[in-house]
Structure 1
């Protein structure tokens, strides 16, 4: 009998305890202070050119290619982009020195900026070069936002002639990191 009354008293006290709660005024103005800063990483460009496709006579030669770059057609992205970083890695297994130029081109076909990378010739040991990060902020970011196409110019320095039997590759891997602010 004592345990039954003790149980009832405990139940009543517990029920009374549940009726009390804490509350505070809600501040919906906090929504105005909402800010997120997402970071996106994506592939920027990639190519792998076999030496036997760079047939030349041993003099200086040029390989050129242009690709559309329509990232900045999206107004939402363009307005919120606060910083961009490009990372480049080049691997050369060809016995020739190269200069790789990446051209940022606007819609009037004007070159806005040229990023240039010297690639030493292959000497039998691993030849992977990671170049310093290209950072686009402020005025440089404004130029980048005008980019509609990206061009690649590969200058082949003088050296041993390349033919259809030549071995090796010139490989570019690059990525872009975009920093946005959404308020």
Structure 2
């Protein structure tokens, strides 16, 4: 049984009459299950909207998927020149502020990650993309379990060192609000 046969057996894909493959109905069912059991969007999106309103930059929420990170929710900056992300985008976990936070607060060892844990946030400039800077903090639930990382990202020329602390404070307020509302 090849991989397409296996995916067809579980209705992950269906074979069309012309021989091409399309996504199958079980993926729709899985998506609906996720929305009802794991979707935090109703809680996170208002925080992202507040961050974008306050900073005029892109705000995102990432989760760890093994050795990658996924942009689960985002709201792009209203500015025409901006850091643009798509929900569902997979990025390397070992570069960029959100990846570094996800690693640090998942127990990654080393002085670099100890420093992130001590500060409570990561700030990256041009690490994944030479034109982008980002600040990220871990989002913890009431039990202290990391649920993901929330960030503000912008063109590197706009996210300058003098803006780090004010944005960190905004992100901390969002993390606190989410901690009080996320299911444990």
Scaled to the shorter chain, the TM-score interval is under 0.3
Scaled by the length of structure 1, what TM-score is found?
0.25
> If each structure's strand is expressed as a fraction of its own residues, which one has the higher value?
1
Relative contact order, CA 8 A, sep 6+: which one is greater?
Answer: 1
Bigger Rg over Cα: 1
More helix by share: 2
